[in-house]
Chains A and B, each alone.
Chain A
């Protein structure tokens, strides 16, 4: 029977009460007394020298308080990059400055040039229109390969070239990999693009800066996935505000998908300007502005090769990727195509030799950084498309080719530096094949054919490294931060509990699922537990939510803190019952002395902790509050098998998704309903990437897909009813809950299934010349590919 509360129960999301009834409190709902508004004047050219900014007319416009330009930020730090990648020669990456407002040059459409603070948002915007900017336009570099050509215009004049780094992984393996290729019985090669995406969280970014002159305290309200990280980066590197004088609040946040991890110029601006002007300063991003100021995702161009022996065993993989950084290094940008991508190139397969080369490139485009999956979708897409192509070339069943090469023994150390603790890839594949009725495919295909449609089936596996991340390891890899998580469990006198977590929920449902864990551990109702997050003033230093890390890392910290609570509570209970604490058992919120009928309730113990009349004061402090920090000793490795069935209209190239099935192994599952929801959302984004979404620039760096008129977001009727399953469980071996994380899987695993299915459909329709089609597989692209 399914559980009705605690771990494993599909408890209803308590946060939805406020989200679904319009009672959420988002950053834009925060309005402070005396608040002014800022409007950013942004570059409308991709590349140019900033000769002059004339603000004289604008300054006289109604309501204008002050106009800031790059000059006002000389002496203020630029936006820092949180990860330093070392190139294949052992040199640090090229790291350009990233000013809050453009200094000397503009480098992408959307680069902020000036900031007008006025009494109203409309006045600020009107004044911004009156600013005269003298820009000498320069040739822009948009295409990565062209950006790397000798003599290409440089995005940053003070760097040697547009190459951020040339990364080889594992460089020492390169010789052996090349040798394996020279001996291979078969080599499959694929060139592909991983299309650039705009993250499009439902809530655009907002920042409100506030300054208390009486105490010299600064506060920033912002749409962030990690308020402590913003406090650290902005306080220490940009504005020079010590952390005890800076509070960052990320209240209800309407989706992030990675784009709200990073520290952005607008946040620093509002905090800075509030102090300068002694007034709160607010910025609300418009959707149009989001397209040119939120960090984009993906944008890789890759050549990948697979060497197989005569028995179809994978011998070696070699990849060559160009990864777009955009015009500046966003906070974690350098890590995405390297440590979050190269380390996943083994996939679910025991390929002994792998070499990954990544050239990160500066272009005159919006910065690119982590977006749901971050690096892992890129790795999965290449590998799973490649294996499909290999199976086709070899004339073998793509599922069998995968199965033959599955890793089956754990722990498994890949040749790309990670160690999978556990998994069972046959189990998820078995499950998937049952879910999709593979045997019935031919009959379904025949039916489609009668209707004039080509049906195709695409299957793939995926693996991801989540639960980010062991601090010592990432430190060696160039991270300039630790990646532990924290929790404080505060038990009140009457037994209610407040958990203050360093994780941040922006749609994931932590307020529900985290409460389930603590309720389960103590044996009290979930309603007695409140989860608090998002405010540096009342939560312990935490690293926030991304990389499917919250339950695996944040949840583990909470478990550790709760264990400390239980341990202390048992001591108090032992005192109350005049027993030894080693004899105390806690079940269903009752402490009993083992083997007796003596018991005290949870509430008796919590009351005694705060009203310590009868209390072991000589041995224990009163109160019941514990904090734990948890640093994982490995990543977690969720994995699974996905399948997509499509119908292609041969006359128009239009792709319809008929069904999509996902069999995931997330380890133990806290709330199956929430997990299914996470998978659904990820699948929508993955299918969106595969069929619809594309950030498109013209050769001059103008953004062509600058609104929803041209940037196609998936809608409900673009998507099928999903079949999702997470009943295959190999618990994580190194965290207390045995959990792996589920936030990104859907987005990571789904694009190759869709593309594999379309290619399958075309081949079944006789169009065997179509080796690959780059995403998104719009009807126009599919039709064009079909023409040969």
Chain B
């Protein structure tokens, strides 16, 4: 790790200002950023911690009935505090990494990083969440732009994520055995006006919506509705943990299981 300056602002405004400096970078839980720095693959001049900004921490329900999660809220807090409002989301958070990761890692960090195997992107996309930043609201459909790519501008921070709560939902994570990130993860959310299915881990374009499954499930929310479908394996990731064909197959299996579990 190279030397760096450290700032710990207590308001969003101060954080934004601190991030305006040359080579400053936001620090959430550091679960992705710090290992990268230790490997000397990242060398920010200043780290701006978002962990002491009260307005960015916590879980609540807004008037629209959305679950609002502060951008610096840890996975562990989501597990505890979202369980009553959005059990599928809390369950997803409970299977991220290990206790140390969950007690440090944040939802904002996860969504900003947009790892193609991360879990939260699937929840955000399937829920039709809104990513709120210090400057604007971004719909999940516009936010994810490919592996590690998002709509965020330099220095823009995720201050809150708002999740509409579906009638029923479930996330099925098939773990990559080494990292235990998602080899394939499928989040299925059934709303009054239709079903959304988001897939993580599988595609070299990052998290995506499986629209054929959404259409089929919106008509018939049952496991058998996806039986006849198939996922094209062309854009699937193929690596030492599984071929594109295998991932495509898992997308279908996990979707079916998520539907069955959502009930």
Query: Interface of A with B (CB < 8 Å)?
Result: 122, 125-126, 129, 288, 651-652, 654, 691-692, 694, 696, 704-705, 708-713, 718, 778-780, 783-784
Q: Which of B179, B243, B246, B250 contacts A709 (CB 8 A)?
A: B179
CA distance A709 to B181 in the complex (A): 9
Contact across chains for A705 and B249 when beta carbons are under 8 A apart: no
CA distance A708 to B241 in the complex (A): 13
A129: chain B residues within 8 A (beta carbon): 40
A652: chain B residues within 8 A (beta carbon): 174, 250, 253
Contact across chains for B253 and A288 when beta carbons are under 8 A apart: no
- Please indicate which of the listed interface residues A125, A288, A780 has the most CB atoms of chain B within 10 Å of its own CB: A780
How would you classify the secondary structure of chain A's contact residues: helix, strand, loop or mixed? loop
Residue B242 lies at the interface, judged by CB distance under 8 Å to chain A: yes
Interface string of B231-246 (1 = CB under 8 A from A): 0000000011111001
B242: chain A residues within 8 A (beta carbon): 778-780
Q: Which of A122, A712, A784 contacts B177 (CB 8 A)?
A: A712
Contact across chains for B178 and A709 when beta carbons are under 8 A apart: yes
> What are 10 inter-chain pairs, A to B, with CB distance below 8 A?
A122-B1, A651-B253, A654-B174, A692-B178, A704-B240, A708-B178, A708-B179, A710-B178, A710-B241, A779-B242
CA distance A696 to B109 in the complex (A): 31
CA distance A704 to B246 in the complex (A): 19
CB under 8 Å from chain A, chain B span 128-144 = none
Contact across chains for B253 and A710 when beta carbons are under 8 A apart: no
Closest to A122 in B: B1
How distant is B233 from chain A, measured CB to nearest CB, in Å? 13
Contact across chains for A780 and B253 when beta carbons are under 8 A apart: no
- Please indicate which of the listed interface residues B1, B177, B240, B243 has the most CB atoms of chain A within 10 Å of its own CB: B177
- 8 nearest A-B pairs in the assembled complex, by CB-CB distance: A780-B242, A712-B178, A712-B177, A709-B179, A780-B246, A651-B253, A696-B240, A710-B178
How distant is A460 from chain B, measured CB to nearest CB, in Å? 24
A288: chain B residues within 8 A (beta carbon): 39
CA distance A704 to B241 in the complex (A): 11
A778: chain B residues within 8 A (beta carbon): 177, 241-242
B177: chain A residues within 8 A (beta carbon): 691-692, 712, 718, 778-779
Contact across chains for A710 and B179 when beta carbons are under 8 A apart: yes
CA distance A61 to B152 in the complex (A): 38
Closest to A707 in B: B178
CA distance A710 to B237 in the complex (A): 14
Q: Which of A691, A694, A713, A784 contacts B243 (CB 8 A)?
A: A784
A780: chain B residues within 8 A (beta carbon): 241-243, 246
Q: A705-B240, A710-B241, A712-B178 are in contact. Are A784 and B246 (CB under 8 A)?
A: yes
CA distance A711 to B39 in the complex (A): 17
A708: chain B residues within 8 A (beta carbon): 178-179
A705: chain B residues within 8 A (beta carbon): 178, 240
Interface string of B144-188 (1 = CB under 8 A from A): 000000000000000000000000000000100111000000000
How distant is A693 from chain B, measured CB to nearest CB, in Å? 9
Closest to B117 in A: A709
A122: chain B residues within 8 A (beta carbon): 1
CA distance A708 to B1 in the complex (A): 19
A696: chain B residues within 8 A (beta carbon): 240
CA distance A306 to B240 in the complex (A): 33
CA distance A712 to B175 in the complex (A): 11
Interface string of B108-140 (1 = CB under 8 A from A): 000000000000000000000000000000000
- Please indicate which of the listed interface residues B239, B243, B246 has the most CB atoms of chain A within 10 Å of its own CB: B246
B2: chain A residues within 8 A (beta carbon): 126
CA distance A217 to B117 in the complex (A): 54
Contact across chains for B178 and A783 when beta carbons are under 8 A apart: no
A783: chain B residues within 8 A (beta carbon): 246, 249
Additional A-B contact list (13), CB under 8 Å, known A652-B250, A710-B178, A713-B178? A125-B40, A126-B2, A691-B177, A704-B239, A705-B178, A708-B179, A709-B178, A710-B241, A711-B178, A712-B178, A778-B242, A779-B177, A780-B246
B250: chain A residues within 8 A (beta carbon): 652
CA distance A288 to B39 in the complex (A): 9
Interface string of B78-121 (1 = CB under 8 A from A): 00000000000000000000000000000000000000000000
CA distance A651 to B239 in the complex (A): 20
How distant is A474 from chain B, measured CB to nearest CB, in Å? 38
Closest to B177 in A: A712
How distant is B23 from chain A, measured CB to nearest CB, in Å? 18
How distant is A278 from chain B, measured CB to nearest CB, in Å? 30
How distant is A773 from chain B, measured CB to nearest CB, in Å? 14
How distant is B121 from chain A, measured CB to nearest CB, in Å? 18
How distant is B35 from chain A, measured CB to nearest CB, in Å? 9
How distant is A375 from chain B, measured CB to nearest CB, in Å? 26
Closest to B242 in A: A780
A126: chain B residues within 8 A (beta carbon): 2
Closest to B253 in A: A651
CA distance A692 to B241 in the complex (A): 10
CB under 8 Å from chain A, chain B span 5-42 = 39-40
Closest to B180 in A: A715
Contact across chains for A710 and B249 when beta carbons are under 8 A apart: no
CA distance A691 to B178 in the complex (A): 11
CA distance A708 to B179 in the complex (A): 6
CA distance A122 to B39 in the complex (A): 12
CA distance A126 to B1 in the complex (A): 10
CA distance A705 to B241 in the complex (A): 10
CB under 8 Å from chain A, chain B span 204-263 = 239-243, 246, 249-250, 253
A691: chain B residues within 8 A (beta carbon): 177
Closest to A709 in B: B179
CA distance A125 to B3 in the complex (A): 13
How distant is B144 from chain A, measured CB to nearest CB, in Å? 22
Contact across chains for B174 and A710 when beta carbons are under 8 A apart: no
CA distance A713 to B178 in the complex (A): 7
How distant is A111 from chain B, measured CB to nearest CB, in Å? 20
How distant is A702 from chain B, measured CB to nearest CB, in Å? 12
B243: chain A residues within 8 A (beta carbon): 780, 784
CA distance A129 to B177 in the complex (A): 33
A692: chain B residues within 8 A (beta carbon): 177-178
How distant is A255 from chain B, measured CB to nearest CB, in Å? 19
CA distance A596 to B40 in the complex (A): 78
B39: chain A residues within 8 A (beta carbon): 288
CB under 8 Å from chain A, chain B span 189-214 = none
B253: chain A residues within 8 A (beta carbon): 651-652
CA distance A122 to B4 in the complex (A): 14
B249: chain A residues within 8 A (beta carbon): 783
Closest to A783 in B: B246
B240: chain A residues within 8 A (beta carbon): 694, 696, 704-705, 710
How distant is A770 from chain B, measured CB to nearest CB, in Å? 16
